[in-house]
Amino acid sequence: MKSRTPGRTSRPMGLKAGRTMHAGPLTYLVLAVFTAVSLAPLIWTAVAASRTSGRLAQTPPPLWFGGNLFKNLERAWTEASLGDAMLNTTIVAGSITIGTVLFSTIAGFAFAKLKFRFSGALLLLTIGTMMVPPQLSVVPLYLWVADLQWTNQLQAVILPTFVSAFGVFFMRQYLLQALPSELIEAARMDGASSLRVIWHVVFPAARPAMAVLGLLTFVMAWNDFLWPIIALNQSNPTVQVALNSLGTGYIPDRAVIMAGALLGTLPLLLAFLLFGKQIVSGIMQGAVKG
């Protein structure tokens, strides 16, 4: 509080303060620099993917596109199996997204609006283990998968992350305020069964949050790394497994590796272009309530 004293003598800034303050040119400049740092590695990935491996070993590194983009993309697609990997990852991430959104919504609704025994303890258990790293479960999961002979099969990476504690918490927080209890009571008075309440009252009210949770879950599932590289290998890979193979010398060609990195990220970048606003607001919502 010492530094307050000189402030008193300085000129008052006027009533416009905090977030209503308009950004000056310096603000735009600094933001532009940070944006450039954010985007440059992504753009350069495309530049590198359009060159040859030999050119990428020379100094200075290429700063503009070359003519080998499609050749490299094709090699990554076929030789590094990224084509199969993208299909696999779509199946995996899609299933996980459906499971997480569906089960998180109904469980989140129960925690937010229904009274039942042990609800407090169960919620605490859910929140308490939300932050446990995946490392704590990979050994038993591996034993199971080996036992069931599920190695290299997609269900081995779908089932363990089919539900999410974060999702339940997220939906609970949303439904607490977005779903008026009177609405449920009114439906109950009309004699609606629980399933009808879920279908006609909860789902419509939860739809915006379900969309956001779906997007966040899809991104997380697409990018999941540790368990997939243990459970799967290059013969039936997800995108991350294929990229891991590339990184550990499967095809020792820098341009093809960059083409793979580009392919593996492209679907998510496209999703960001389309739904960027929703993803941003989803992260910000989760922050305030979480």
Partner 1 sequence: MSETAEYAETASPGKGDAAPAASGSRQASPTSSWRSRLYRWDIKASPYLFVAPFFLFFGAFGLFPLLYTGWASLHRLELTNLDDSTWLGLENYTNLLQSDYFWNALGNTFTIGVISTVPQLAMALGIAHLLNYKLRGSTLWRVAMLAPYATSVASASLVFTLLFAWDGGMVNWLIGSVGIDPVNWRESSWGSQFAVSSIVIWRWTGYNALIYLAAMQAVPHDLYESASLDGASRWQQFRHVTIPMLRPTILFTVVVSTIGATQLFGEPLLFGGTAGSKGGADHQFQTLGLYLYDQGWINGHLGRASAVAWLMLVLLLLIAAVNLLIARRLRKDR
What residues contact 266, with CB distance under 8 A and at least 6 apart?
none
Residue type present at position 277? K
Q: What is the DSSP string of 232-261?
A: --TTS--HHHHHHHHHTTSS--HHHHHHHH
Residue 271's Cβ-side half-sphere holds a number of Cα atoms within 13 Å equal to 19
Q: For residues 223 and 175, what is the distance between their CA atoms, to the nearest angstrom?
A: 28
Q: For residues 272 and 51, what is the distance between their CA atoms, to the nearest angstrom?
A: 26
Comparison of 13 and 177: residue with beta carbon closer to partner 1: 13
Cβ at position 202, least distance to partner 1 in Å? 9
Residue type present at position 165? A
Cis before residue 60, ω within 30 degrees of 0?
yes
Cβ at position 99, least distance to partner 1 in Å? 8
Q: For residues 211 and 214, what is the distance between their CA atoms, to the nearest angstrom?
A: 5
Comparison of 234 and 265: residue with beta carbon closer to partner 1: 265
Cβ at position 72, least distance to partner 1 in Å? 13
Cβ at position 91, least distance to partner 1 in Å? 17
- Count CB atoms within 10 A of the CB of residue 87: 12
Cβ at position 192, least distance to partner 1 in Å? 6
How many Å from the N-terminal Cα to the C-terminal Cα in the chain?
30
Cβ at position 50, least distance to partner 1 in Å? 14
